[in-house]
């Protein structure tokens, strides 16, 4: 009898045979899974929302291409009829120029799938498709696009490239698909009228962006050096009365020094300096407290900056 009772209570075979009892079991299992799942989810919520796909920025997606140092070139005048002729040599030259200048966006084969173009809106044009051209597929319109760029897109103007090279790239693009209409004589005449290819052009000298930035940096390096040395003094020497004052009136010492440094040497005098302080402009790195400075305190600061070589180096 006790054996029978025991069987009654946990007769698993019986349980399996009765679907209504499993439903109960499944229900409990599902609830348990939801609870554990929820707990895991909450524990890892930071990781779940973390963006694990790296942003699409890499060396080949830089939006400005470093231009090469180039002496301005003179392109001698050429006949538009000759320019409009796609010879195999011109197409080959255009292919190479295209690969270095345009393929990053338009793709190696001109399908609009270059790595730098993936995140652009509007997307770079697919040169194999007839749909959706903004300026158009005609020779004159292709030239206009490359000459002027397309406003509101990352298609910039390439007017600095000699026009013969621009024609070469255009001829290469036109060789990619059979749909490009042949230029009409009227179209060519109009192009000559607009761009005066027969007169030739001279492109200006160019220096690479990095060198331009370097030049700017050397020019301002002296300023940066003085600002840094004064800043170092301001941070360290708390015994000087002038420095205690500066710490009191500056909301941002570097900004303050920078603004002072931007005062033209010809304006550097006590009155100008005093107005500068009393205006207590936040943009100049000053706190409102600066407007309450006493005349002798202003004098102290004026002497401090004048004597610390800060302005002397600029006069
Ligand atoms: C930085 C990316 C980028 C580079 C580099 C670039 N393009 Fe484009 N280009 C675009 C984008 C984006 C469009 C689409 C513009 C639109 O639809 O408004 C476009 C469109 C065009 C068009 C089609 C204009 C039309 O009528 O719809 C031509 C032609 C073209 N590019 C030629 C060139 C040539 C030639 C070069 C190289 C000298 C070049 N592109 C380099 C981004 C680029």
| Interval 238-259 mean pLDDT | 83
Rounded (to 5) percent helix, strand, coil in the chain: 60, 5, 35
**Which ligand 1 atom sits closest to the C-alpha of 142?**
29
| Interval 258-285 mean pLDDT | 86
Tell me if the bond preceding 122 is cis, omega within 30° of 0.
yes
Query: What 3-state class would DSSP assign to 138?
Result: coil
Beta strand 74-75 with 201-202 is: antiparallel
> At a CB cut-off of 8 Å and minimum separation 6, what does 240 contact?
304
Q: Which of 110, 115, 150, 176 to mutate to test the pocket of ligand 1 (most atoms within 8 A of CB)?
A: 150
The third-level CATH classification (topology) of the domain covering 74-202 is Cytochrome Bc1 Complex; Chain D, domain 2 (1.10.760)
187-217 pLDDT per residue, tens: 999 999 999 999 998 876 766 666 776 766 6
What integer pLDDT is reported at residue 51 of this predicted model?
A: 58
Domain boundaries, the chain: 74-202, 209-314
Provide, rounded to the nearest whole percent, the portion of the chain with pLDDT above 70.
74
Ligand 1 geometric centre to CA of 106 (Å): 7
Ligand 1 geometric centre to CA of 201 (Å): 23
Ligand 1 lining (C-beta closer than 6 Å)? 101-102, 104-106, 116-117, 120, 122, 124-125, 133-136, 142, 145-146, 150, 153-155, 158, 169
Alpha helices in 133-286 (DSSP H): 139-148, 163-174, 185-195, 209-236, 241-249, 253-261, 270-278
Provide, rounded to the nearest whole percent, the portion of the chain with pLDDT above 90.
41
């Amino acid at each position: 009898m006790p054996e029978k009772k025991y069987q009654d209570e946990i007769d698993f075979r019986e349980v399996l045979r009765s679907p209504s009892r499993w439903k109960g079991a499944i229900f409990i299992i599902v609830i348990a899974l939801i609870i554990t799942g929820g707990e895991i989810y909450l524990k890892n919520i930071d990781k779940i929302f973390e963006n694990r796909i790296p942003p699409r920025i890499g060396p080949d997606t830089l939006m400005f291409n470093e231009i090469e140092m180039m002496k301005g070139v003179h392109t001698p005048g050429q006949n538009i009829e000759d320019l409009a002729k796609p010879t195999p040599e011109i197409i080959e030259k255009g292919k190479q120029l295209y690969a270095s200048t345009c393929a990053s966006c338009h793709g190696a084969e001109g399908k609009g799938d270059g790595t730098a173009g993936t995140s652009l809106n509007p997307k770079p044009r697919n040169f194999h498709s007839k749909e959706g051209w903004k300026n158009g597929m005609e020779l004159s319109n292709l030239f206009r696009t490359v000459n002027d760029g397309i406003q509101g897109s990352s298609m910039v103007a390439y007017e600095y490239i000699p026009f013969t090279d621009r024609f070469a790239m255009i001829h290469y693009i036109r060789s990619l698909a059979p749909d490009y209409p042949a230029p009409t004589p009227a179209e060519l005449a109009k192009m000559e009228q607009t761009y005066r290819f027969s007169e030739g052009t001279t492109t200006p000298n160019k220096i690479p962006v990095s060198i331009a930035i370097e030049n700017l940096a050397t020019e301002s390096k002296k300023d940066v050096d003085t600002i840094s040395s004064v800043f170092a003094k301001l941070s360290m020497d708390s015994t000087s009365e002038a420095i205690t004052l500066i710490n009191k009136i500056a909301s941002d010492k570097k900004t303050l020094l920078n603004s002072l440094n931007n005062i033209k040497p010809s304006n550097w005098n006590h009155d100008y300096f005093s107005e500068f302080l009393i205006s207590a402009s936040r943009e100049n790195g000053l706190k409102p407290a600066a407007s309450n400075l006493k005349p002798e305190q202003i004098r102290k600061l004026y002497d401090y900056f004048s004597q610390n070589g800060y302005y002397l180096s600029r006069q």
